[in-house]
A and B are shown apart, each in its own frame.
Chain A
Amino acid sequence: MRREEFLDNEIDLPEGNYLDTSELVLNMGPQHPSTHGVLRVVLKLDGERVRDVECVIGYLHRGVEKIAENRTYGMFVPYVDRMDYVAAVSNGLGYCLAIEKLISVQAPPRAQAVRVMLTELNRIASHLLWLGTHAIDLGAISPLMYCMREREEILKIFEQYCGARLTTHAFRIGGLQYELYDGFETQVTRFLSNFRKQVNDWHDLLTGNPIWAGRLQGVGVLTAEDCEAFAVSGPLIRASGVAWDLRKAQPYSGYEQYDFEIPVGERGDSFDRYLVRMEEMQQSAHIIEQAVSQIPSGAIMAKVPKVLKPAPGEVYVSIEAPKGELGYYVVSDGSTIPYRVRVRPPSFLNLQALKKMAIGALVADVVAIIGTIDIVLGEVDR
């Protein structure tokens, strides 16, 4: 029975029939490997089909926004790395840009180029982790090994640059703390040339694979209207056919200088999201290649007062993080401590659309859909 028929037809059997079905409530998670962390999904099942979905979140809530109200502007920068910990560099970039907007400072061109390179490397690392874990959810074991091997190269670059692999604290308000190390360019170039070949190999491994296509095609469809209604952003809205990328729509940190394209899907299903992310990795590699060949010289830090006291006011600044639109709404009251920092987490809003995608699907498809949303619970719960 197709999904549409299932949704239209109520099961109509005489009462007391031994074929009577009853609704089964199935609890998935929070300790379930395919929920990518501590997500609990309560499924109402009719046989193998999902009637209703409820997400229970908050197991990883650490009160990041409350902590921000007790730290100075500079002290809070490392905390944002702990939200989306697989894309810590993007978190830091968004926060630094928001505070820079608040104090009307712009990072120097060299700092902007380094920021773009590291952020795009982080985007590749985030998508690699997504691809590996998504594939292993669906039963394909080997892509995880390949993805982790490439991701390791990126983490080594981070480690050489700032000493940390995951929660990098790479950027500071106003620019960068560290100069690039000797041999950064050659290491990045060597990684990229190898990486682009690898992505083509993965296409051979997965894209043409009938099992892979069968598990993803037509599963978890989101139309463009659904995406707008649920404020879904990032690769999900692009897979639904909306060519919207904040790096193009509202460029920041010098993204307007680079030549890249926005990959767009047609059907909005899980397979399109997979293809969009695969192409985004190639486009990120393309951006890094351009940036690494022409890193401007000069200072890496703008003139920022040692004690930051932004004038009373509020700004909302958002960037295109690997998961979608990551926004910071910062309110200053003129003191050294932010009055309020609100994080607009992309995973949180993307996860809200799970209900829309999963109703009518099979239980096994729910695993595929959760994987294709690419959630990080550290960011959903904050």
Chain B
Amino acid sequence: MSCYDGVARIVCARRDEHSVSVHHGALRLAKYPFIGTKRPGITALPVRFRTVTKFSNEKTVLEPNRPARYNGSMPENLPHRAPAATPMQATEWEGDFPARIRQTFPALALSFKSYLGQNYIEAPAAAIADLLLYFRQHEAFDVLTDLTAVDYPTRPERFEIIYILYSLERNERIRVKVHAALDHDVPTATAVYPAANWLEREVFDMFGIRFSGHPDLKRILLPEDWQGHPLRKELSITAMDNEWVQRNLGIESGQS
């Protein structure tokens, strides 16, 4: 096996080396092949590196034991800005429906808002399962179109979880929003809407929000050994990229 290292010099790697990568003019040899991370039971990849400028058997380890990046603090270079100066200019949602729901759930602090003709309800997280059950059984909202979340790290209850409901019968769409703090669970909606199963798994995967009572809450899109929840605002793409490359490949990622 031979490789062109960028300085017009052919360097012969040993036969027993599996992977070769050229980075910033220096040739680095991987002792073991790169393998996928989807295999169960493997938490860290057994990849070790050494730098070779000439053919030699000397072993050097690049920066071992780097500290973990995911400590929950906010890095300086976030692409995300201070919270919006003016909040959303939503108007009150008047009508039969809000009055009916208020009458049915007098103990709950519900607010009914409307923005650009789209209606939404803000509700306490603990009551979400009851509310959804009522909407499905008595208000004909038979489809949970989508379930997602938004992260507002500066708020005391930083996560906003959004349930988008649709009624085939009335051809009407509403959103139900609840708020959750970092370490608070949200009751699952899987008993009411089976569609929530994968959607809640995705929200858990991306934000780390736990849904209590979910039958199989585990990562869905990312590998099981992935660290961190990438759609949280404190994680930037470059930080995650650097961290992954350094942890698994032992080199600088080259991205800034």
Contact = CB atoms under 8 A, between A and B. Distances in A.
Contact of B145 (A61, A65, A327, A334): A327
A54 to B, nearest CB: 9
B223 interface: yes
Contact of A61 (B89, B144, B146, B221): B221
Contacts of B222: 58, 61
Given A334-B85, A340-B150, A348-B198, A313 B116 contact: yes
Interface residues of B, number: 45
A53 interface: no
Kindly name the residue among B115, B116, B146, B206 whose own CB sees the greatest number of chain A CB atoms within 10 A. B146
Chain A interface mostly helix, strand, loop or mixed?
A: mixed
Contact of A63 (B89, B144, B194, B237): B237
B84 interface: yes
Nearest to A342: B148
Given A58-B223, A65-B231, A334 B194 contact: no
Nearest to A327: B146
Interface in B104-162: 115-116, 118, 142-146, 148, 150-151, 162
Kindly name the residue among A102, A314, A315 whose own CB sees the greatest number of chain B CB atoms within 10 A. A314
Given A327-B164, A381-B221, A314 B88 contact: yes
Nearest to B164: A316
Interface string A28-57: 000000000000000000000000000011
Interface of A: 56-59, 61, 63, 65-67, 69-70, 101-102, 104, 228-231, 242, 244, 249-250, 311-316, 318, 325, 327, 329, 331, 333-335, 337, 339-340, 342, 344, 348-349, 352, 381-382
Interface of B: 38, 79-81, 83-90, 115-116, 118, 142-146, 148, 150-151, 162, 164, 168, 171, 173, 175, 193-195, 197-199, 206, 219-223, 230-231, 236-237
B193 A229 contact: yes
A352 B221 contact: no
Contacts of A228: 142-143, 168
Contacts of A69: 79-80
A230 B194 contact: yes
Given A312-B87, A325-B145, A327-B145, A349 B198 contact: yes
29 contacts: A58-B219, A58-B221, A59-B38, A63-B230, A69-B80, A104-B116, A228-B168, A229-B195, A230-B194, A231-B144, A231-B195, A242-B168, A244-B168, A249-B171, A311-B89, A313-B89, A314-B88, A315-B115, A316-B164, A327-B145, A329-B146, A329-B148, A329-B164, A333-B81, A333-B83, A344-B164, A352-B197, A381-B221, A382-B221
